[in-house]
């Protein structure tokens, strides 16, 4: 496959065409840890009707009257503790960019394929990157929401934003969206390998390993969201791959927000319960996160560890996300090559 350019008139620059774009999209990141940056990021995130499904008449007074006046400073302080000081950015941005750059190099055998990355919330935006890809000659774009398990609040909102971008384009590229890969054997093997590799570095054996997934409100699941079922299947397949029982590898859900009931069991409550019941050694992995971020580096590696120790636990280990590791990139590249079939 080769890209081409064509000039239609002498009054216009050359028109590029013949390429295929791959756009990796993660959740998002604030530009900084200051209050203004955090408020801008949280406003965009929490105004998404896919994320908060309450009526705006009910939600907006709470959002603008309370949340956006109190949470930016608090969340900013949390980000500050896990900020990538060397590059002055969040690790989510660092890893997502690295993933795109590594993938681009690995696709050297496909010269007509261009790989880029974007964020659903914050910068670079999905629309800006789709515009760039189209202008660079990408007549086809593979949109890859970086979520192994599908949820309307994650995968669907990425797809929504991409299709909104198409509405503004005169020359629309063909668009494919990557399906969830929660049960893909390559993904399951990478998770199992990451667990065994991390545990091999410890001088102790965990009694329990928690697979902590980001939660969603129970009402979303009741309306038909498949997320809970896909998380359970991921954990079951990893458990089978490792040859462990249900008591050894357990499923929990984290990061609940607001007064609603969310998917249970809750990670923080489970960690506390295990410590109080006499469990002394645990490890936690976040299979639903492609890259380490605030929810893994601060909420789990720091907060959950403190909760466990205060409840009587002695040894706690956080198992990193796949990030831009060789195993993690094998998964992402496997999925992309599969989804590009017929295009390249």
Q: How confident is the model at residue 17 (pLDDT cuts 50, 70, 90)?
A: confident
Helix H or strand E segment including 117? strand 113-121
pLDDT of residue 324: 98
- Token reading at 339: 């989804």
- Domain boundaries along the sequence of the chain: 30-82, 185-319
- Nearest Cα residue to 50 out of 130, 135, 161, 146: 161
Q: How confident is the model at residue 188 (pLDDT cuts 50, 70, 90)?
A: very high
pLDDT of residue 10: 56
Share of the chain above pLDDT 70, in %: 96
Q: For the residues 181-190, what does the mean pLDDT come to?
A: 98
pLDDT tens by residue, 114-131: 999 999 999 999 999 999
Asked whether the predicted pLDDT for residue 13 surpasses 80, the reply is: no
The span from the CA of 20 to the CA of 2, in Å, is 10
Identify which has the larger pLDDT, 17 or 284.
284
- Nearest Cα residue to 161 out of 295, 27, 340: 27
pLDDT tens by residue, 256-291: 988 899 999 999 999 999 999 999 999 999 999 999
The span from the CA of 295 to the CA of 92, in Å, is 10
pLDDT of residue 5: 55
Q: For the residues 143-159, what does the mean pLDDT come to?
A: 98
Asked whether the predicted pLDDT for residue 8 surpasses 70, the reply is: no
- Token reading at 181: 């890969």
pLDDT of residue 258: 85
Q: Which CATH number fits domain 185-319: 1.10.10.10, 3.30.420.40, 3.40.50.1400, 1.20.1560.10?
A: 3.40.50.1400
pLDDT tens by residue, 283-318: 999 999 999 999 999 999 999 999 999 999 999 999
pLDDT of residue 11: 67
pLDDT of residue 319: 98
pLDDT of residue 174: 97
pLDDT of residue 167: 97
pLDDT of residue 247: 95
Mean pLDDT rounded to a whole number for the chain: 95
pLDDT of residue 121: 97
pLDDT of residue 14: 78
- Token reading at 151: 């949820």
CA distances from 198 to 25, 202, 204, 327 (A): 27, 7, 11, 13
Please say whether the beta carbons of 175 and 319 come within 8 A: no
pLDDT of residue 6: 55
Q: How confident is the model at residue 1 (pLDDT cuts 50, 70, 90)?
A: low
Q: For the residues 107-118, what does the mean pLDDT come to?
A: 93
Q: For the residues 15-21, what does the mean pLDDT come to?
A: 89
Q: For the residues 320-343, what does the mean pLDDT come to?
A: 97
- Alpha helix positions (H), 14-90: 35-46, 56-62, 68-82
Q: How confident is the model at residue 16 (pLDDT cuts 50, 70, 90)?
A: confident
Roughly how many angstroms between the first and final C-alpha of the chain, as a whole number?
A: 7
């Amino acid at each position: 496959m080769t890209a081409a350019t064509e000039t239609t008139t002498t009054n216009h620059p050359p028109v590029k065409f013949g390429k295929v774009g791959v756009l990796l999209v993660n959740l998002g990141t604030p530009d900084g840890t200051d209050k203004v940056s955090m408020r801008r990021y949280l406003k965009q995130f929490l105004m998404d009707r896919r994320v908060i499904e309450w009526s705006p008449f009910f939600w907006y007074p709470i959002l603008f009257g309370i949340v956006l006046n109190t949470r930016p400073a608090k969340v900013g302080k949390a980000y500050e503790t896990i900020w990538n000081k060397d590059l002055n950015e969040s690790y989510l941005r660092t890893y997502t960019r690295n993933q795109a750059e590594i993938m681009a190099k690995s696709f050297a055998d496909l010269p007509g394929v261009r790989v880029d990355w974007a964020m659903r919330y914050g910068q670079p935006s999905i629309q800006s990157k789709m515009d760039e890809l189209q202008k660079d000659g990408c007549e086809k774009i593979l949109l890859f929401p970086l979520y192994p398990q599908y949820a309307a609040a994650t995968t669907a909102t990425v797809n929504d934003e991409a299709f909104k971008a198409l509405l503004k384009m005169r020359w629309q590229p063909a668009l494919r969206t990557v399906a969830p890969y929660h049960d893909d054997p390559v993904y399951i093997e990478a998770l199992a390998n990451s667990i065994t590799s991390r545990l091999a570095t410890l001088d102790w054996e965990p009694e329990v390993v928690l697979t902590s997934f980001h939660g969603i409100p129970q009402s979303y699941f009741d309306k038909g969201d498949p997320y809970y079922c896909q998380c359970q299947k991921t954990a079951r397949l990893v458990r089978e791959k490792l040859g462990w029982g249900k008591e050894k590898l357990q499923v929990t859900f984290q990061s609940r927000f607001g007064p609603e009931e969310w998917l249970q069991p809750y990670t923080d409550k489970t960690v506390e319960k295990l410590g109080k019941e006499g469990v002394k050694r645990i490890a936690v992995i976040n299979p639903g996160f492609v890259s380490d971020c605030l929810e893994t580096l601060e909420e789990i590696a720091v907060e959950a560890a403190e909760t466990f120790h205060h409840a009587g636990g002695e040894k706690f280990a956080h198992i990193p996300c796949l990030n831009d590791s060789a195993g993690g990139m094998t998964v992402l590249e496997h999925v992309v090559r599969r989804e590009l079939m017929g295009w390249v």
